[in-house]
Amino acid sequence: SSGSAGTSGTRFDLERETELRFEVEAGERVQLELLSGLAEVFGSELNRNKKYTFGPGSKIAVFTWQGCSVSLSGKTEVAYISKDTPMLLYLNTHAALEQMRRQAGKDNERGPRVMVVGPTDVGKTTVCRVLLNYAVRLGRRPTLVELDVGQSSVSVPGTMSALCIERPADVEEGFSVQAPLVFHFGSTTPGTNIKLYNKLTSNLAEVFSQRCEVNRRASVGGCIINTCGWVKGSGYQALVHCASAFQVDVVIVLDQERLYNELKRDLPHFVRVVLLPKSGGVVERSKDCRRESRDEKVREYFYGFRGTSFYPHAFDVRFSDVRIYKIGAPSIPDSCLPLGMSQDDTQLKLVPVSPGRDLTHHVLSVSSVDDDAEVGAGQSRGILESPVCGFIVVTAVDTQAQVMTVLSPAPRPLPRHTLLIMDIRFIDLK
Ligand code: ATP
Ligand code: MN
């Protein structure tokens, strides 16, 4: 059913309910074109006779409900058609969620709040994208809640965010990220500071619920929560916490029966826990691959994405004009804690940082907290509740002159003066 070379590439004829999977080789680009029929990429419909370009390392599935012909040109690592996909199960799940939205609309209730969980590399992010696309294609306004601090689809790594979805994801670039609500976590694994992770999950839940109270469409649209692949120990507890903070109605467990059983046991009985298979097309990603895509995310933040180039600014910031903090003091044994202080307090504590050379290359979040907000006694009140208004990277530190040079998406001055340090480093090679 495939292989006949067209004028501009290899032609693939797909039967209904099958998908063409391909991966783009390192350093290469691949162009995809829909020649006839209907097809979609992770729930976003393809336009006919339009060339879609995918960059190095992209792992894509072109799925068709009705049958189609497509052509691929450029170097693919693999390209094959599979008849064995769970898309029908995902569509049925979407239909059930849509039924809940319809009912919510009628009864003046809120729509489904869905948490997608599973170990690493089972297609969690992809399932979220498919469900959001199907919902928004029906005119719904679901919210994507991104809790994966390692591979955020909304903002730079080390953040937790919420994004109202108003149109399907762009086939090449994903969801358009205008005005996301972003919180600073600071590292790429929840385990670095699980208290902070849970606290920020609660913050997001609260902001989302407030929005639902004033925005009927957001309320009926509900949310799809993407989570990390860490599903054991504190990672598991974080999932349970999230389910309760967001008062989720549905949990989709991908590919792990044990996790499914645990959640069924530990969540309230009215939460519907559903086990779904992972797609055979989901590709495992190595540590290096993950690191690269994190780096790419930061680069995109400053320099834009292919079609749209940004031109970041470099300027000096005087130490005396900013206050820099790290969230969380290094944990100390319980027995050494001052009387009346708990481990929670240390993990949520705001630790002032005096800039030194080791700050070089670090990504800093610019907090939206009021510049003259009191930061009393090392307490982070106000700052933890404040979203981030942007990010900068420290490119050089001059301790003699007491200034640092930063890379910023906007020209000087910084919009706010409270900066939070990330563990994440970015080396600007441009
Ligand atoms: P992580 O544990 O890193 O969060 P995940 O569970 O969210 O991973 P995804 O990011 O959704 O998994 O999928 C992993 C990779 O597989 C992605 O690059 C995605 O584009 C690709 N992928 C997903 N589904 C398919 C498919 N059916 N065919 C081909 N590639 C796919
Ligand atoms: Mn993911």
pLDDT, tens digit (0-9, with 9 covering 90-100), for 11-30 = 999 999 999 999 999 899 99
Pocket probe mutation, ligand 1, options 80, 126, 228, max atoms within 8 Å of Cβ: 126
Q: What is the pLDDT of residue 309?
A: 85
Pocket probe mutation, ligand 1, options 32, 117, 125, max atoms within 8 Å of Cβ: 125
Distance (angstroms) between ligand 2 centre and the Cα of 122 equals: 8
Strands 113-117 and 223-226, sheet pairing: parallel
Distance (angstroms) between ligand 2 centre and the Cα of 123 equals: 7
Mean pLDDT across the chain, nearest whole number? 93
Confidence category of residue 380, pLDDT binned at 50, 70, 90: low
Distance (angstroms) between ligand 1 centre and the Cα of 284 equals: 8
Q: Does position 382 have pLDDT exceeding 70, yes or no?
A: yes
Confidence category of residue 183, pLDDT binned at 50, 70, 90: very high
Task: Assess contact for 221 and 101: CB atoms under 8 A.
Answer: yes
Q: What is the pLDDT of residue 330?
A: 75
Short-list 132, 176, 184, 175, CA closest to 156: 184
Confidence category of residue 104, pLDDT binned at 50, 70, 90: very high
3-state secondary structure the chain: CEEEECCCCEEEEECCCEEEEEEECCCCCEEEEEEEECCEECCEECCECCEEEECCCCEEEEEECCCEEEEEEECEEEEEEECCCCHHHHHHHHHHHHHHHHHHHHHCCCCCEEEEECCCCCCHHHHHHHHHHHHHHCCCCCEEEECCCCCCCCCCCCEEEEEECCCCCECCCECCCCCCEEEECCCCCHHHHHHHHHHHHHHHHHHHHHHHHHCHHHHHHCEEEECCCCCCHHHHHHHHHHHHHCCCCEEEEECCHHHHHHHHHHCCCCCEEEEECCCCCCCCCCHHHHHHHHHHHHHHHHHEECCEECCCEEEEEEHHHCEEEEECCCCCCHHHCCCCCCHHHHHCCEEECCCCHHHCCEEEEEECCCCCCCCHHHCCCCCCCCCEEEEEEEEEEECCCCEEEEEECCCCCCCCCEEEEEEEECCCCC
Distance (angstroms) between ligand 1 centre and the Cα of 279 equals: 9
Does the beta carbon of 64 lie inside 6 Å of ligand 1? no
% of the chain with per-residue pLDDT over 90 = 85
Distance set, CA 41 to CA 81, 200, 372 (Å): 14, 32, 47
